[in-house]
Chain A
């Protein structure tokens, strides 16, 4: 009996490991920035380059920082979700326009709608590096104390929004 059970058991273990491996997304690298203060920066705003924005301005508020670019295909997929979210007024969304020519970015927002309170222009991608951005879009949920509480790698979907982001916002706003 053992003769058959042992290989069968070993095979079952292998199948379990392979199944777990197949369901993991290797692109999703856990960010070391979770529960750390959001890196400071001061960048010009996309619409008003003479005005600056810094995460310090958001002290005391729960907000989303969404990294986007007009050349990013997945951003377009994500965009309607953000537009809908901005209409609910649940959370202010700020955009980090990543390595994008200004005209392209403005045209993109005019065409697809602008869910952002304002966007900031990270033309050289340096702030992106500070935030550990490696694939656009990425979204950070930052709490009242300026600490990153959640990071979405890849597009924000309705499922992620309902299951994770909204409950977390409610909890952080308490």
Chain B
């Protein structure tokens, strides 16, 4: 199922973009008078830094493995704009995070809050670890019993030594 908000540039598209950039660079190099410094992303650097810090905590719902800070999806642009505005309005980080969770659920947070529905998420790995350790302990204990039980009789001991000697000879050391 293809969702319309996702954007994918095909290989041909990328090449075209690269070529047009190259062309643009050539033009810029030929006419340095027109070259301009890149416009700052936002007027206020402090707002921008806080926006990035907050949006790094948030998942972009369009490209779910990207943070809101890193995503180029259109919705991410809109949500970053929303966060910028909320910062300018003097909202706290918590208020902004709550705003997002109210609309998109706990899933938008990379560090979801601890509550009854997220217990398994938070403690599941430790449960698995405990199960693994218990299994290992059981195994080691059973193995320990088996090794102790294997006492050699005098004759078997002799046989084993003879075999070991034979082995040394074969190694030629």
Contacts and interface: CB of A to CB of B under 8 A. Distances in A.
A and B physically associate: yes
Interface of A: 26-27, 29-33, 69, 71-75, 99, 124-126, 128-132, 134-136, 154
B62 interface: yes
B62 A131 contact: no
A29 B109 CA distance: 12
Contact of A99 (B2, B64, B74, B82): B74
Q: Please classify how large the interface on chain B is, using the bins under 10, 10 to 19, 20 to 34, 35 or more.
A: 20 to 34
Nearest to B108: A29
Nearest to A124: B78
Contact of B104 (A73, A134, A154): A134
Given A26-B64, A29-B61, A125-B78, A134 B1 contact: no
Which of A69, A99, A125 has the most chain B CB within a 10 Å cutoff?
Answer: A125
Contact of A129 (B82, B101, B105): B82
A30 B105 contact: yes
Contacts of A135: 3-5, 61-62
Interface of B: 1-5, 61-62, 64, 74-75, 78-79, 82, 101-107
Given A74-B1, A135-B4, A29 B103 contact: no
Contacts of A74: 1-4
Contacts of B62: 134-135
Contacts of B82: 126, 129
A3 B58 CA distance: 46
Contacts of A125: 74-75, 78
B141 to A, nearest CB: 15
A27 B3 contact: yes
30 contacts: A27-B1, A27-B3, A27-B64, A29-B105, A29-B107, A30-B105, A31-B105, A32-B104, A71-B4, A72-B4, A73-B2, A74-B2, A74-B3, A74-B4, A125-B74, A125-B75, A125-B78, A126-B78, A126-B82, A129-B103, A131-B103, A132-B105, A134-B5, A134-B61, A134-B75, A135-B3, A135-B5, A136-B4, A154-B1, A154-B3
Contact of A32 (B1, B64, B74, B102): B102
Contacts of A29: 61, 104-105, 107
Contacts of B107: 29-30
B105 A32 contact: yes
A109 to B, nearest CB: 17
A59 B168 CA distance: 94
A167 to B, nearest CB: 24
A10 to B, nearest CB: 10
Nearest to A72: B4
Nearest to A137: B4
Nearest to B105: A32
Contacts of A75: 4
Q: Which interface residue of B2, B62, B104 has the most chain A CB atoms within 10 A?
A: B104
